[in-house]
Amino acid sequence: MSKCLLRGRTLSFHRRPENLEDKGAYTYQEDGALLIQAGKIVAAGSYSDVKPQAGEDAEEIDHRPHLIMPGLIDTHLHFPQMQVIGSYAANLLEWLNTYTFIEEQRFASAEHAARFAAHFFDEMVRHGTTTAVAYCSVHKVSADAFFAESLKRNMRMVAGKVMMDRNAPEALTDTAQSGYDDTRQVIADWHGKGRNHVAITPRFAITSTPAQLEAAQALAREFPDLHIQTHLSENRDEIAFSCSLYPQAKDYTDIYEIYGLLGPRSLFGHAIHLSEREMDAMSESGSVAVHCPTSNLFLGSGLFPMRKLQNRQKPVRIAVATDIGGGSNYSMLKTMDEAYKIQQLLGERLNPLESFYLMTRGNAEALSLDNHIGALAPGLDADLVVLDMASTPPMALKAETVSTLSEELFLLQTMGDDRAIAETYIAGEPAKSALGMPR
């Protein structure tokens, strides 16, 4: 298998940085290198240390002066919503009923799903996202199309066939039994194939009957290693409707608790308006609250209390995500720009080191996949991004003033988008330039 040596400035996080001076949280190499073989990082360090390990046969690619980081990770988005982005609605439930539940019906067609799977993976690669956690539609063929494309591109992806058996158009519903059977089949067909991971995916309490949440619980018991993903506490009307459908539950979180769906592999999209009791339940179970800033602003859902969740006596694990197509941009850089602004409105700080930690190692930890992705270390997947802080004329002007790493990261986050991704590597292979599209 051919070897490859990448040279550039390298940055990788070990843990969440406490502040801008927290140098122990990361390793930065001004002249760094990665040795890659068979899709994995074999060595990482300074160029002078790594170069001698490469041997004569390694191809050397010089990315200086750009910054090489682990690939970006998006922990919540919807593959069938690429054409829902930018739909004009007053709030979540209007947006779902007017646009989303109509559009997702088109994914009953295998051809349509295959066409959009190709577009979806192109956009991930173009935006530097090397792992994503996706909702497919209710149709098994949508999950088949997603995972087939992921396998073809050799990407580490997490996704699930959505389970939804009420409060949606008939053409977009399964039943408790068929949702269970189809999910089992998706697991049998795709989980562990290539780098595919299947997630158990009940959409949310509004669109699942108690019988369906029981079926999700049965799946979670049978396949305890799988991720579970759903939505929680995004919008006040959604909360009220959910609680009215499950009157025996103490609150929205308790609905999922009753059905055994909380836990360290459970990802709860949004989780904006949680009570102290709900936060305790999330914390005690190790569940993850997934912050989706562009979506929360676009749908007017609310301001995610990141610091309240993290700094309480019982902290809640958090992750960050685009939530395409409630979210309005595929870029994790743009996502963190909006996350920053939300914390500003709450009177809190979000420093750029922490933002870049969250998009990489932080999200990998939230997915319990940090043994595979999220850092530049031997043995990990060689999924990488190469970042260019001077990728547009206005960025190049601002870049003239940059003298520190955190200033560079803040510029990338504030002004960057897909154009700032100079290259994306998937399992050691350059994938963005291979798309043959303009940067």
Residues that bind ligand GUN (CB under 6 A): 78, 92, 96, 100, 203-204, 231, 234, 295, 323, 326
Residue in the block written with tokens 């697991």: 187
d(CA 119, CA 81): 12
Task: Name which of 326 and 362 has its Cβ closer to ligand GUN.
Answer: 326
Residue 299 C-beta: closest distance to ligand GUN, Å: 6
Task: Name which of 204 and 357 has its Cβ closer to ligand GUN.
Answer: 204
Which residue minimizes CB distance to ligand GUN? 326
Residue 390 C-beta: closest distance to ligand GUN, Å: 34
Binds 35, which of Zn ion, ligand GUN, none (CB < 5 to 8 A, cut-off by type)?
none
Residue 119 C-beta: closest distance to ligand GUN, Å: 18
Task: Name which of 182 and 323 has its Cβ closer to Zn ion.
Answer: 323
DSSP 3-state assignment of 131? Answer: strand
Residue in the block written with tokens 């439930």: 93
Residue 288 C-beta: closest distance to ligand GUN, Å: 16
Residue 58 C-beta: closest distance to Zn ion, Å: 42
Q: Going by C-beta distance under 8 Å and a sequence separation of 6 or more, which residues neighbour residue 278?
A: 233, 251, 252, 253, 254
Strand order in the sheet with 429-430: 40-46, 26-37, 3-13, 59-70, 384-387, 421-426, 429-430
Binds 234, which of Zn ion, ligand GUN, none (CB < 5 to 8 A, cut-off by type)?
ligand GUN
Residue 239 C-beta: closest distance to Zn ion, Å: 15
Q: Which two tokens stand for residue 280?
A: 């305790």
d(CA 157, CA 159): 7
Contact 255, 242 (CB under 8 A): yes
Task: Name which of 232 and 399 has its Cβ closer to Zn ion.
Answer: 232
Task: Name which of 153 and 161 has its Cβ closer to ligand GUN.
Answer: 161
d(CA 103, CA 142): 13
Binds 204, which of Zn ion, ligand GUN, none (CB < 5 to 8 A, cut-off by type)?
ligand GUN
Q: Would you tell me which residues interact with Zn ion (CB under 5 A)?
A: 269, 323
Task: Name which of 297 and 431 has its Cβ closer to ligand GUN.
Answer: 297
Residue 314 C-beta: closest distance to ligand GUN, Å: 26
d(CA 116, CA 104): 11
Bond from prior residue into 362 cis (ω within 30 degrees of 0)? no
Residue 231 C-beta: closest distance to ligand GUN, Å: 4
Task: Name which of 160 and 269 has its Cβ closer to Zn ion.
Answer: 269
d(CA 399, CA 124): 26
What DSSP assignment string belongs to 16-70?
Answer: --SSTT-GGGEEEEEEEEEEEETTEEEEEEEHHHHHHHH-TT-EEEEEEEEEEEE
Identity of the amino acid at 2: S
Residue 16 C-beta: closest distance to ligand GUN, Å: 26
Task: Name which of 76 and 153 has its Cβ closer to Zn ion.
Answer: 76
d(CA 347, CA 350): 10
Binds 179, which of Zn ion, ligand GUN, none (CB < 5 to 8 A, cut-off by type)?
none
Task: Name which of 58 and 292 has its Cβ closer to Zn ion.
Answer: 292
Q: What angle do CA 134, 137, 143 make, to 5 degrees?
A: 65
Residue in the block written with tokens 């059977």: 181
d(CA 315, CA 309): 6
Residue 22 C-beta: closest distance to ligand GUN, Å: 33
Binds 203, which of ligand GUN, Zn ion, none (CB < 5 to 8 A, cut-off by type)?
ligand GUN
Residue in the block written with tokens 């389970």: 163
Task: Name which of 78 and 156 has its Cβ closer to ligand GUN.
Answer: 78
Binds 227, which of ligand GUN, Zn ion, none (CB < 5 to 8 A, cut-off by type)?
none
